[in-house]
Amino acid sequence: MITSFGKILRKIRIDNNEILKDMAEKLGVTSSFLSAVENGKKKIPDGWLNTIFTSYNLTIVQKKELEFAYSETNDSLKISFDGLAPENKELAFSFARKLNNFDSKDIEQLKTLLERIEE
């Protein structure tokens, strides 16, 4: 079953008049591996977002859509804490532990805060 990430990836490929082989070469994988990622049979490799961002001239909206689809498709998220202050690490771990306890109001407040910080 094609994933949301796979759908967007396929659209990028088609919009750039590429076949699986072309995109696979840019991503450093085989066509069959790329197809398996699109169809949810293989995990999205680390670093693909950055490679796709630099290989294709994506708009900010396209980048956001791809990032969202990536997070929606992946069951886990790898975060590097290199150079992060101890209090920031503590906050990140606390957030992860309590994530299932947030109600819809908490989530909306967090989204608003994060959007404000992005600006």
What is the Cβ-side half-sphere exposure of residue 20, based on CA atoms within 13 angstroms?
A: 13
Distance (Å, rounded) from C-alpha 55 to C-alpha 38? 18
Segment 87-92 mean pLDDT? 91
**pLDDT of 28-44, one tens digit each?**
999 999 999 999 899 89
pLDDT at 105 over 90: yes
What domains, with CATH codes, occur in the chain?
A: 4-73 (1.10.260.40), 86-118 (no CATH)
Copy the structure tokens of residue 35.
């197809």
In this structure, are residues 99 and 38 in contact, taking their beta carbons and an 8 Å threshold?
A: no
The pLDDT of residue 119 is 66
User: Is the pTM higher than 0.85?
Assistant: no
Which are the contacts of 23, defined by CB distance < 8 A and separation ≥ 6?
A: 9, 12, 13, 34
The pLDDT of residue 34 is 95
**pLDDT of 54-77, one tens digit each?**
999 899 999 999 999 998 888 756
